Structure 1
Amino acid sequence: MSETSSGDGKTIAIISYVTLIGWIIALLMHNNDKTDFGAFHIRQSLGIICVAVALGILNAVVGIAILAWIIQIALLVFWILGILSAIQGEKKPVPLLGEQFQQWFKGIG
């Protein structure tokens, strides 16, 4: 894997946080130009997406309005931290589950 000197890893990293479609585009771009930086952020973004879906399903079952607000705020914070890390060229895992995302999705690389 190459480093992010060309900037492509950074572009891929940023795009991965822009909705599910952005994540798919980033993954396709990453397959053509693999970097550790791009892979790191693709895994972080996928983790945030998976947590959002799982918690959305849980909220639909439980149906507590305050829970929905807390979940949305937490996911927004995770997303902001992730995209800021990508923009700044840093490999900082998101709080709580970021390290697990790297392990769970280590096949993306």
Structure 2
Amino acid sequence: MENYTVKEGKTAAIISHLWVIGLIIAFFMNNNKRNYFTSFYIRQTIGLNLFQLLNGWIIYKFLGSTAGYIVGVIIFVLWIISLIGAFKGEKKLVPVVGEQFQEWFKNV
């Protein structure tokens, strides 16, 4: 059952990583037939997109472009880790903040 759930939700999980548009598409793909694997990655990418948005608004504005660039690279690395997990069919939490993303967005 677990393998089937992953196989069924893998495409939408990968699509959710394609910025905000992909996240919205994956959300609607997962809306009718809830897939736990897809929901896991939707929660991860919601958190990463919010961090990126906050980076652009807060870090760049108050700490400068160098700090914003460093935080942006860190967020990009976390995004790559999440995308690789989706491609492999593994539920891979984003380091440091992945558990918080799952907790904060548990209703998605």
TM-score higher than 0.5 here? yes
**Are the aligned partners of 1:4 and 1:10 in contact in 2 as well (CA < 8 Å)?**
no
Say which structure is richer in helix. Answer: 2
Distance 1:8 1:21 in 2: 21
Question: In structure 1, the residue corresponding to 2:94 is in which secondary structure?
Answer: coil
Unpaired runs of at least 5, structure 1: none
**Are the aligned partners of 2:55 and 2:72 in contact in 1 as well (CA < 8 Å)?**
no
Aligned length: 107
Aligned to 1:99: 99
> 57-66 or 26-35, which moves further after superposition?
57-66
Unpaired runs of at least 5, structure 2: none
Change (3 A) 1:4 1:21: farther
Matching of residue 67 in structure 1 with residue 74 in structure 2? no
> 17-26 or 4-13, which moves further after superposition?
4-13
What do the CA deviations read for 1:1-49 (whole angstroms, capped 9, x no partner)?
x755163310111000001000000000001221110000000000000
Post-superposition shift, 1:55?
A: 1.7
Question: In structure 1, the residue corresponding to 2:95 is in which secondary structure?
Answer: coil
Post-superposition shift, 1:64?
A: 1.2
Q: TM-score, normalised by structure 2?
A: 0.91
Computed over aligned residues only, the root mean square deviation of the Cα atoms, in angstroms, reads 1.6
Aligned to 2:45: 45
What do the CA deviations read for 1:83-109 (whole angstroms, capped 9, x no partner)?
10000001111011100000000001x
Distance 2:79 2:71 in 1: 12
Consecutive aligned runs of 4 or more in structure 1 exceeding 4 Å deviation: none
